[in-house]
């Protein structure tokens, strides 16, 4: 599987670890950057490009990494077609794929050990979308809104 990875300085060490680990696992890995450690770099460009590459390459998945993962998830989700989930437990990585058909995960490198984060990534990559009609329906609703940016949908009566 092709996997795109992008980070900032806070996620650089984890990204490099994952690049090497995933290559050893047989994945086609694309390191979007940064390619050198720079303590003053900013995450948006790396995460935006990671998300764009995933969307342009159907069947691929992406990983964005920073200190907390929050900003990285927000940045990736600005790309139409990205469904990025912030992952902090193995079960969340699994549910992100099964229920949300997430194509990008965000990880906070300062929040997890290398082993924990590697486990999240392995679970994310190994878990398929369930195809459950209710989950597919919800994803389609989000895609429709994203494609057309209509007025917000009506809320059901309380």
Average pLDDT per block of 10 residues along the chain, 158 residues long: 98 98 98 97 97 98 98 97 98 98 98 98 98 97 91 84
Q: Does residue 78 lie in a domain region? A: yes
Q: Does residue 121 lie in a domain region? A: yes
**3-class DSSP assignment, residue 128:** coil
**Known catalytic residue: 99?**
yes
Catalytic choice (9, 27, 49, 72): 72
Q: Does residue 153 lie in a domain region? A: no
The answer to whether the beta carbons of residues 17 and 75 sit under 8 Å apart is no
Catalytic choice (17, 21, 99, 135): 99
User: What's residue 154's pLDDT?
Assistant: 85
The model carries a pTM of 0.95
The two tokens of residue 150 are: 């209509």
**Known catalytic residue: 111?**
no
- What CATH number should be reported for the domain holding residue 16? 3.40.1400.10
The answer to whether the beta carbons of residues 107 and 117 sit under 8 Å apart is yes
User: What's residue 153's pLDDT?
Assistant: 81
Q: Does residue 157 lie in a domain region? A: no
Encode pLDDT of 105-134 as tens digits: 999 999 999 999 999 999 999 999 999 999
Q: Name which of 26, 15, 9 is nearest 125 in CA terms.
A: 26
Following CA atoms 126, 86, 130, 53 in sequence, which dihedral angle do they give, to the nearest 10 degrees? -70
Domains in the chain, number: 1
Q: Does residue 155 lie in a domain region? A: no
User: What's residue 35's pLDDT?
Assistant: 97
Q: What percentage of the chain exceeds 90 in pLDDT?
A: 94
Q: Tally the C-alpha atoms within 13 A of residue 27's C-alpha that lie toward its C-beta.
A: 23
Q: Does residue 158 lie in a domain region? A: no
Q: Does residue 55 lie in a domain region? A: yes
Instruction: Please provide the average confidence, as pLDDT, over all residues in the chain.
Output: 96
Q: Does residue 134 lie in a domain region? A: yes
What range defines the domain where residue 23 resides? 2-148
């Amino acid at each position: 599987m092709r996997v795109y990875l992008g980070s900032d300085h806070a996620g650089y060490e984890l990204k490099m670890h994952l690049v090497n680990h995933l290559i050893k696992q047989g994945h086609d890995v694309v390191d979007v950057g940064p390619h050198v450690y720079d303590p003053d770099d900013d995450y948006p460009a790396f995460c935006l490009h990671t998300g764009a590459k995933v969307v342009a390459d159907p069947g691929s998945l992406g990983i964005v990494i920073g200190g907390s993962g929050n900003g990285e998830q927000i940045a990736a989700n600005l790309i139409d077609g990205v469904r990025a989930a912030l992952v902090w437990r193995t079960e969340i990585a699994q549910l992100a794929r099964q229920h949300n058909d997430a194509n990008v995960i965000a990880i906070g490198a300062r929040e997890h050990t290398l082993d924990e984060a590697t486990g999240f990534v392995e679970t994310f990559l190994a878990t398929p979308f369930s195809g459950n009609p209710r989950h597919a329906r919800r994803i389609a609703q989000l895609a429709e809104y994203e494609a057309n940016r209509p007025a917000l949908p009506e809320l059901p009566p309380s």
